Amino acid sequence: MIYFIQPKLNFTSGGSLYNLEIVKRLQEEGKGENFFYPLNGSVSWLLEQLTALPSNCILVIDALYLTIPEFNASLKEFLPYAQRTYLMLHHLESLNTYYSTQEKKALWSDEAQWLKAMKGIIVPSFQLRNYILSGGIGTDKIVVASPGIDKAQACHLPNLKERSQNEPITLITIGTFYRRKGQLELVEMLAQMETKNFRLHLVGDCEEEDYKQKTLALIKRAQLQDAVIVHGVVPQKTMLELLSQSDLYISPATYESYSMATAEAVAHGLPVLAYATGAIADWIEDGVNGIVLPLGKQQQFFMALKRLLTDRNQLNQLRKEALNRIDNLSFNTWDQTYRDFLQAFTND
């Protein structure tokens, strides 16, 4: 029996959606159950609950808990369970680019102790796997189970009608409001544009309220209320409609372990402007069906966005190529993701 230990979040993230799909299949097959534990809960309480579980059960812990100091410091207490515990690693805090080199080193030191102690690690991308390997974690401990991405229906694909120089460009970004997602930085770039012939849809839940409020304040200060539409969480049907109405997907995130939202956009035939993080470079050929820039090159990102807002020929060519490539894309289904997830436990 597999017990999937995860928090109930007050926002929706790619990781929480991933967990939902996995646990749903575990329950349908009678192989596992959810085990909800508050993100800031008492570690001693959790350990008490674990003692009541069958001694031969498997534990899967969402590594989001490692961002909580009390939990992170409790490795010694978890060692009795280490040989049947796996980390579901959606996120490594040490990879956030806003930390100093010294801070990243300290964060990784703590994370690496957990990674080395646990029985196995499940990651969403080969990029994250390779990063962990470079940190001295054994390859036999890591299984890649990339998220499932649904194949787009024809009715949800964008209209390939070429955009004329006078037509406004529709942009879209999907992701929780959080520093590493880059919504504020994107709005800052748009505020500096001479052209205002665009409309940006910001879609996503709020993980960091202060960051979202700074973004909203900038939109107002720059008088972009008509050009930047903040949607919050929307139903799947609405999100698909927004994707089909858009001309360009923008991922200003400075760190992704996979980037499910970008993969969805690519699967729906949209060109992408993004930094090279997560698995994004696996789906985008720079200059062909999108533009992918090295991390930290904010000025290059700004100039690329400026060109796409002013050069309709380049944008139209990217749109055409992005739509032409969808039949050749290869993404997991959620059933395949589930099978890959289970592989972590059959490798023993």
98 and 25 inside one domain: yes
Whole-number pLDDT of residue 166:
86
208 and 337 inside one domain: no
Encode pLDDT of 121-139 as tens digits: 999 999 999 999 999 999 9
Is the per-residue pLDDT at 59 higher than 90? yes
Share of the chain above pLDDT 90, in %: 86
Write the CATH number for 266: 3.40.50.2000
288 and 337 inside one domain: no
83 and 102 inside one domain: yes
184 and 283 inside one domain: yes
Query: Mean pLDDT, to the nearest integer, of 140-160?
Result: 90
Confidence of residue 206 (pLDDT cuts 50, 70, 90): confident
251 and 286 inside one domain: yes
251 and 237 inside one domain: yes
Total structural domains in the chain? 2
Confidence of residue 207 (pLDDT cuts 50, 70, 90): confident
Is the per-residue pLDDT at 348 higher than 60? no
Is the per-residue pLDDT at 227 higher than 60? yes
201 and 181 inside one domain: yes
Query: Mean pLDDT, to the nearest integer, of 47-57?
Result: 93
Confidence of residue 251 (pLDDT cuts 50, 70, 90): very high
Can you tell me the distance from the alpha carbon of 123 to that of 14, in angstroms, rounded to the nearest whole number? 13
- Residue 4 in contact with residue 32, Cβ under 8 Å? yes
For the CA atoms of 70, 73, 77, 82, what is the dihedral angle to 10 degrees? 120
Encode pLDDT of 258-315 as tens digits: 999 999 999 999 999 999 999 999 999 999 999 999 999 999 999 999 999 999 999 9
Confidence of residue 67 (pLDDT cuts 50, 70, 90): very high
Encode pLDDT of 83-99 as tens digits: 999 999 998 999 999 99
- Residue 255 in contact with residue 180, Cβ under 8 Å? yes
- Residue 227 in contact with residue 196, Cβ under 8 Å? yes
336 and 187 inside one domain: no
Q: Which helix (H) or strand (E) is 170 found in, with range? A: strand 169-174
Confidence of residue 247 (pLDDT cuts 50, 70, 90): very high
- Within 13 Å of residue 52, how many CA atoms lie on the same side as its CB? 6
Is the per-residue pLDDT at 233 higher than 80? yes
CA–CA distances in Å: residue 59 to residues 33, 55, 78, 116, 283: 10, 10, 11, 16, 33
- Residue 278 in contact with residue 257, Cβ under 8 Å? yes
Q: Which of 191, 214, 323 is nearest to 270 (CA)?
A: 323
143 and 182 inside one domain: no
Residue ranges making up the domain that contains 110:
2-148+332-346
Q: Which helix (H) or strand (E) is 162 found in, with range? A: none
317 and 178 inside one domain: yes
Confidence of residue 81 (pLDDT cuts 50, 70, 90): very high
342 and 308 inside one domain: no
Encode pLDDT of 177-198 as tens digits: 999 999 999 999 999 999 889 9
